[in-house]
Amino acid sequence: MLLRTPPLRALTLFASLGALCASVASAPRSSLADDVRALDGVWIYVEDRTDGRPVEEHQPSMSNKVTLRVEDDAVVLVRSDGEVRMALDGAATEVKREGGVSRYSGTWKNGAFTYEIEMLRGPERTRSGLIRTELRPTDEGLLARVEVAPPTEMKSLALYRHPDDIELPTPAEASIDDIEWLAGAWVGTAGSRGTRSIEERWSPPLGGTMFAVSRTVSRGKMVAFEYLRIGEKDDSLVYVAQPNGGAATSFTLTEVSATRAVFENPRHDFPQRIVYELSAEGVLTASIGAMKGGRPQRFEFKREAK
């Protein structure tokens, strides 16, 4: 038995050293994985931080909502048309799109994940464009910097946050009777040539609520519709929209007067802000946009002739 003790001790020592080496070897990977995982989740555009860009031109650097899923060795960009998996070692991923191929490649370096998209066109795969995106997690959120190569040469920087990390607005005190001026059938046109007709039909206040249906018609065909309602909640009002009868999104009343009502939801991708205004001439303007800056989309309505 005594003759076998030294070999056993040696084996134990080797095993301990092996475990230690394995631990040291895996530490950087584990640390890296923890850092990269800060990218995981849904991100909502908060504000434009591009140097020198006028407030009215503020816009997200990517889309209004960005969804990322972090795996052990890759970052997955979740898009409406599919997922793009980008390996952390820089290996390229090619995605076939109409008219060509988009080649994605990314790496984690200096606290940020940077990936490039090469647009390749034709049988010879000639590069027609390049987009470089840097995603950097910070204490205040995700900073997304995007650069587009010539001939565009666009640069953009924007801040994104997880929805739960975005502060909700303070509700304005009001009752449903405070927006009685919105009731009625409102019609108008949209588009640069006014080829689209739009309408919103709001019921009078009753039972603490107002209901509406919206319809957009282009070239004789309905292209969009929406169910809308405004209801009293906790001494304020909530605006609920269901585009094309889909999922409902709520917006909190933050400002109200005899001719103006503002509803906001900074946790929504777009719109985040809805404003109704009634002019002295009886024109109703509805605008939708971001919480900060940019050019809101505006729609003008007049009361439908009886």
Residue 229's pLDDT is what? 98
Over 60: is that where the pLDDT of 19 sits?
Answer: no
Over 70: is that where the pLDDT of 224 sits?
Answer: yes
Q: Could you tell me the pLDDT band of residue 149, with boundaries at 50, 70 and 90?
A: confident
Q: What is the mean pLDDT of residues 47-70?
A: 97
User: Is residue 85 within 8 Å of residue 69, measured between CB atoms?
Assistant: no
Backbone angles phi, psi at 24, to 5 degrees: -65, -40
Q: What domains are defined for the chain? A: 38-165 (2.40.128.20), 176-303 (2.40.128.20)
Average pLDDT along the chain: 89
Number of CB atoms found within 10 A of residue 98's CB:
4
Identify whether 271 is preceded by a cis peptide bond (ω within 30 of 0).
Answer: yes
Residue 32's pLDDT is what? 63
Distance (Å, whole) CA 277 – CA 255: 11
| 15 SS3 class | helix
Over 80: is that where the pLDDT of 1 sits?
Answer: no
| 279 SS3 class | coil
* Residue closest to 179 by CA, chosen among 273, 264, 260: 260
Q: What is the mean pLDDT of residues 133-144?
A: 98
Q: Using one digit for the tens of pLDDT, what is the confidence trace for 150-209?
A: 667 789 999 999 999 999 999 999 999 999 999 999 999 987 777 899 999 999 999 999
Distance (Å, whole) CA 30 – CA 199: 56
Residue 78's pLDDT is what? 97
Comparing 1-10, 70-79, 141-150, 230-239, which segment has the lowest mean pLDDT? 1-10
Over 70: is that where the pLDDT of 3 sits?
Answer: no
Residue 31's pLDDT is what? 54
Backbone angles phi, psi at 192, to 5 degrees: -60, -30
* Residue closest to 178 by CA, chosen among 241, 263, 242: 263
Distance (Å, whole) CA 219 – CA 199: 15
Residue 192 — left, alpha, or beta (φ > 0 → left; ψ -120 to 50 → alpha)? alpha
Residue 150's pLDDT is what? 66
